[in-house]
Amino acid sequence: MSIVGKKFPSVAVNAIDELGDTFKLNVFQHAVDKKKKIVLFWYPKDFTFVCPTEIHAFQEAAAEFEKRNTLVIGASCDTAEVHFAWLSTAKDNGGIEGVKFPLLADSTRRLAEELDILDYDQYDDESTGDNVPYRATYLIDEDGTVFHESINHMPLGRNVGEYLRLVDAYTHVQQHGEVCPANWEEGKDAMKADRNSTAEYLSKH
């Protein structure tokens, strides 16, 4: 069930930073307390193939997200210890050394289960606990409300630039009360939420 327009679940989860420090992180509370937007992206598993390409792509875009008052947080169901081992592995060896944003270690799967993003069909026996999350992405505003969610299947890596565009669009809506048409980007025309504005926009484009 979609949680767009709803508050993100208020669940504290183990997390780790690039220094190896572990702590509890409640994504909802973090957004509210810091008064920042958050892009939370889930990936299936540490030490895999597509996952490090996405994690490095989010790291490369982290400064652009920060310019937009947005924090980046990664998440999987691996333990904090496994996260740190991967954070300590060089990029040219398939690792994620150099990644600075925190990683959730939802090893109990409490948050992943609440979000209903686990792929039980990947494994024959659910009781093994090896079920892993899809590539789910959540954009959360300063009040802890989800304004975007998407879920990719395992083989499909994300386009990080699209999340920057969505943050720009949502910020424009917040600041100007306008709506953003298809393929809108920062600096392009937006519209008022009425039929006349739509007709005028379509006539120009």
CA distance 166 to 184: 9
Which amino acid is residue 187, in one-letter code?
A: G
Domains (range + CATH), the chain: 12-157 (3.40.30.10), 159-205 (no CATH)
Q: Tens-digit pLDDT profile for the chain (205 aa)? A: 899 999 999 999 999 999 999 999 999 999 999 999 999 999 999 999 999 999 999 999 999 999 999 999 999 999 999 999 999 999 999 999 999 999 999 999 999 999 999 997 654 444 444 689 999 999 999 999 999 999 999 999 999 999 999 999 999 999 999 999 999 999 999 999 998 888 888 888 8
What's residue 130's pLDDT?
66
Residue 94 gets which letter from DSSP?
A: T
CB 104 within 8 A of CB 76: yes
CA distance 202 to 87: 48
77 is an active site residue? no
Reported pTM: 0.94
CA distance 19 to 123: 33
- Residue 83, CB-side half-sphere exposure with 13 Å CA sphere: 28
What's residue 201's pLDDT?
85
Active site residue: 16, 27, 38, 51, which one? 51
What's residue 205's pLDDT?
83
Residues near 201 by beta carbon (within 8 Å), at least 6 away in sequence = 181, 189, 191
